[in-house]
Chains A and B, each alone.
Chain A
Amino acid sequence: MSLLLTVAVLCASGLALLRLLRLATGRWTVDAPLSWFAGSGYYAFAAFALRFLGRLPYTAATALAIVGLPVAGLVVARGLGRGAGVATAGSAPPARWRPRPAWVFGPIALYVAAVVLMVVLHGANTPTQTDDGLRVRAFAPILAYRDAWSPEARAVATMAGPVPTFVPSLGWRLTGRVDHFDVNGTILVGLAALLALAIGLAAERGRPERGWAGAFAVLSLPLFVYHCTSTYSDATLAIYVGAAFLFFLEYGFSREASDAGRALVLLVCAAMVKREGELVAGAVGLVLVAQLAWEGRRERYRRLLPAALLCAPYLLVLAARIASVGLAGAFPFLRLAAERGAGGPAAPGPVPAAANQALPAFVWSLFSSGSAGILFWVLFASAILESRALARRRLAWPFAAVALLLAQAAVTSVWLIPEFTLNQTTVHRQLLPLSVAAALWVAALLSEAAVEPPVPVARTAGRVPGGKRRAKR
């Protein structure tokens, strides 16, 4: 019950926020899943900032005020005659819902439905496990519910990030009852929203094949599928990055600033998941902002101002984090990199390792372990064989983001923390956001490439592809 309340309240709040920011599409098939991401990200941001920067107690009243603010703002905006705040992709082809050919996409749809059903059932049934003697990941929202913030509790919340800490606790805060399975539930809702967004967005833009191929590619990542049934935040991070990446890809096709805006908002949300969220989201955001800057250079970079405004609230998250655990604890990866660069020890790992030993283990985790299925085989082959077509297919910038994520993962796994690559532990989890982004990119590339391209008029005059039978017509 509390999970349903959480979903309903956050979707309503998120939809109001999207409309206020003029980022709603006006299509419920897109706006409904998008509102979950926007609402949960906004709620986590506001709750975290108010608690640790504003020092306000986290009560039911605070929670209601946070989720009610966008709704109230929308009502006021409408009263002032500011419109509904819908930004549609004007250049997109008309919506089309049935992917073609049916004999290919029928089984794909069945696979997607079956896997989602299994994941939802198993995820909702499985109580929280623990994996080491150090911490239980799903404990962070319970600390938020308690709202008693000792230094140890603050460290847990900072490690988990605002989204995993505050989103599951909303329903508990409002009902006064803790249902431990809500932690699983919020991850499952995120997965469902990601898949619905992939399918709905592509269909609304007239390319249902891309959406179903994306959903299939994401659900062909075995470790990601398994993670969605757990209470770990790695899946949550991958889901937010995936949702942002969908709009990043879409921006390449539509060139609509609103798509880039949606991608940036979702990246800000992704940055609030785990400690490494901002590194992953920052890498993708950097490429997207570079694309905006490159394409907007003739407009004197005017496109960058809205992007900067959408990202600016994240500064408050950083400030709240510093207020919570201090400057040294707020940026553990910077500290780790500095120590590593100075020749000091890396993370307290079990196996002393050198980079040259970690590299083969990293390559094994990509290609042989099966954690990502055959994704990286397809990714590399596609990037090489389709390299000349990337720009034409408007997929070069998203590919740069995937490449940057891969480089980041390689540096982290081989240089920064090789110990956990050698013993094949966290390296696979760390690859989840990259895997989901890469899967969506590959699906977009191959679904575009598989469609028969229109034949140039100049060539048809002399030779018609398809053989003599068509030529005779």
Chain B
Amino acid sequence: MRARAQRQAGRDKATGVWSRSRASMSVPQPRRRARTPGSSRGGAALALALAAGPLMREVPPGNVPSVVQSNAPLAMTGEGLQVDVSRPTALVFNLPGAQELDLEYEASGILMLTWATAYPASGSLPDHRAPPYRYRRLAPGRGRARIDLRETAKWSPSGVPYLLLEGSGRFTLTRLAFLSAPPDAASAREALDRSLFWAPYSFDYTTINVLDPPYWSASRGSFLFDRLGVTFLLLAGLFALGYAALRRRYRPGWALAAAALVAAAAGDAVFLVKLIPPLALKVEPDPEVRIRENYAFAPKLGALAALARATVPAGDRVGVSVRGHGADWFAAEVLCFNLAPRRCVTLVPGKPELTGLSGVDRLRPDELDAVVSYDSEDPLPTGFRRVAQVSPDAFVARRP
């Protein structure tokens, strides 16, 4: 746990800009609950389901609205529980003790689902980007997601599932089932350790500094490579003694090689199991498609970057307008980088001189030919009009 704590501290305090950006990405508290007939029966059904044991339990469709709270309006339709996503939309499931969720859904537009563990009693929502950052892009159409909540930060049987939908589109939850944590603490701890041991790496924009340290036992705070290192030493000693007994010669080099091979193979096997799920292994020759599809944790941003590259002429001078009056550095950098070699700056209202990546590009607002806007609260500068859009809040504008 120490590593995670250290890493978290680093991320939270890395730079002032980082903190600003994270603040700007926070989501409001859940406040609404869908009003549907049958809500009052939900508590009893839920209690029954929770008491039933370790099997996956389905929440009856009529009870789903009583289980889910959100900061956005929810509507119960014939298909299921529906929510329109235009801003980050939190879904908190009142399922204490759930360790897995099984969702069937229908999605439209560009949506990304993030999951974490919430503790409503604490009065705050989880930092959904805290490592390990768990997310997946929801392809348009019907789909199913089996979510292991134990892989999230700070999961415990007293937490509740927290999902966050980002992007732009519509999400309909057509079926909800969950698996409760084992009732006894030892089994729950064992299940947590097993889940975290095999949990895939979660790539985000700070993974470049360190991969999630693999645990041997997360509940005891012991790390896999400590165990493998000690195993390697023991094996080397054992092999050396065995070789000496059989051949009557002392060959530490042979024993070290054999032990290193065994330990490295074990470490590599775990590494591959954790590495493969988040990799993008599809062969895609077109770089524009790669930009559009492969910003794994920011699909709407990738789509906007690709759209802007196709829409903004090569010689244009571009301003990017992002959330927090220019504070969302990730979006600003992704857009300006992908638009390069066009000159590109971040729009900050009221600033006479705007700057771009590393302060290299410097432009006045009146020098801009195009504006690329991503989740921005700021109005378009005078004289610009939309020419293309990914969604109402992600678009390209140019001077007529």
Contacts and interface: CB of A to CB of B under 8 A. Distances in A.
A369 B214 CA distance: 7
Contacts of A180: 287, 291, 337-338, 340
A132 B14 contact: yes
Interface in A180-197: 180-181
B164 interface: no
A364 B10 CA distance: 16
Given A138-B337, A368-B226, A450-B257, A131 B252 contact: no
Interface string B196-239: 00000100011111110110000000011110110011001000
A369 B14 contact: no
Given A130-B334, A351-B13, A361-B6, A226 B211 contact: yes
Nearest to A142: B340
Contacts of B279: 118, 121-122
A118 B236 CA distance: 31
A374 B264 contact: yes
B209 A374 contact: no
B247 A466 contact: yes
Contacts of B337: 128, 130, 136, 138-139, 142, 180
Interface stretch (A10-18, A215-223, A319-327): A215-223
A152 interface: yes
Contacts of A448: 253
A382 B333 CA distance: 45
B384 interface: no
A361 B302 CA distance: 36
A136 B359 CA distance: 11
B260 A378 contact: yes
Given A142-B341, A381-B256, A449-B256, A127 B10 contact: no
Interface stretch (A27-35, A258-266, A422-430): A422-430
A111 B276 CA distance: 13
A173 to B, nearest CB: 12
A111 B268 CA distance: 9
Interface string A114-143: 110010011011111111111110110011
Contacts of A23: none
B225 A368 contact: yes
A462 interface: no
Nearest to B16: A133
A275 B264 CA distance: 32
Given A126-B294, A368-B226, A442-B260, A377 B21 contact: no
A178 interface: yes
Interface in B239-294: 247-249, 251-254, 256-258, 260-261, 263-265, 267-268, 271-272, 275-276, 279-284, 287, 290-291, 294
Contacts of B282: 121, 125
A467 B3 CA distance: 51
Interface in B115-167: none
Contact count band on B: 35 or more
A127 B9 CA distance: 27
Interface in B1-27: 2-3, 6-7, 9-10, 13-15, 17-18, 21
B18 A132 contact: yes
Interface in A262-295: none
A423 B264 CA distance: 27
A237 B275 CA distance: 23
Given A222-B211, A466-B247, A156 B260 contact: no
A368 B267 CA distance: 12
Interface string A97-110: 00000001001000
A446 B253 contact: yes
Contacts of B206: 131, 425
Q: Which 5 A-B pairs have the closest CB atoms?
A: A449-B253, A423-B10, A133-B17, A377-B229, A133-B329
Given A111-B268, A423-B13, A445-B253, 19 more contacts: A121-B282, A122-B279, A124-B290, A129-B205, A130-B334, A220-B267, A223-B211, A226-B207, A226-B211, A370-B225, A377-B229, A378-B232, A385-B252, A422-B6, A423-B7, A426-B209, A447-B257, A449-B252, A450-B257
7 contacts: A125-B290, A139-B360, A361-B6, A367-B225, A370-B225, A373-B267, A425-B209
